């Protein structure tokens, strides 16, 4: 990404600089729990979409000690962590249904 920004800047007669703000190792989510979450999202009537996230949530800390997975809701306009951030009511309902389904799936498993 940095090299690309530098190339674009050079073509435009500009310079590009960067300064790392956070330097944390990546954390993988638990594959089994991620699959269960994906199945639960499907049961809620939504097509799941797996993605990589640069989110520095508490999950980064938890995932080092316990199985973890994350569920994101769409944010219209891509606005996140701003007062204007919003979600769709039907997305919230689907997320609640998926969360319930995760608990049901986990509850039915032999531990």
pLDDT at 27 over 90: no
Q: What is the pLDDT of residues 44-77, one digit of tens each?
A: 999 999 988 877 777 888 888 899 999 999 999 9
pLDDT band at 105 (very low <50, low <70, confident <90, very high): very high
What pLDDT sits at residue 55? 74
The region, left, alpha or beta by phi > 0 then psi within -120 to 50, assigned to residue 9 is alpha
Tokens 């639960």 belong to residue: 40
Question: How many residues does the structure list for the chain?
Answer: 111
The region, left, alpha or beta by phi > 0 then psi within -120 to 50, assigned to residue 99 is alpha
**pTM, to two decimals:** 0.72
What are the residue ranges spanned by the domains of the chain? Answer: 24-108
């Amino acid at each position: 990404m940095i090299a690309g920004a530098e190339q674009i800047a050079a073509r435009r007669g500009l310079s590009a600089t960067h300064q790392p703000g956070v330097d944390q190792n990546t954390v993988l989510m638990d594959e089994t729990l991620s699959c269960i979450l994906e199945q639960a999202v499907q049961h809620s009537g939504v097509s799941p979409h797996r993605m990589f996230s640069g989110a520095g949530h508490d999950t980064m800390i938890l995932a080092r000690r316990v199985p973890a997975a994350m569920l994101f809701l769409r944010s219209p306009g891509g606005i996140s962590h701003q007062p204007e951030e919003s979600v769709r009511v039907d997305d919230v309902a689907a997320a609640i249904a998926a969360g319930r389904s995760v608990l049901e799936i986990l509850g039915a498993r032999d531990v």
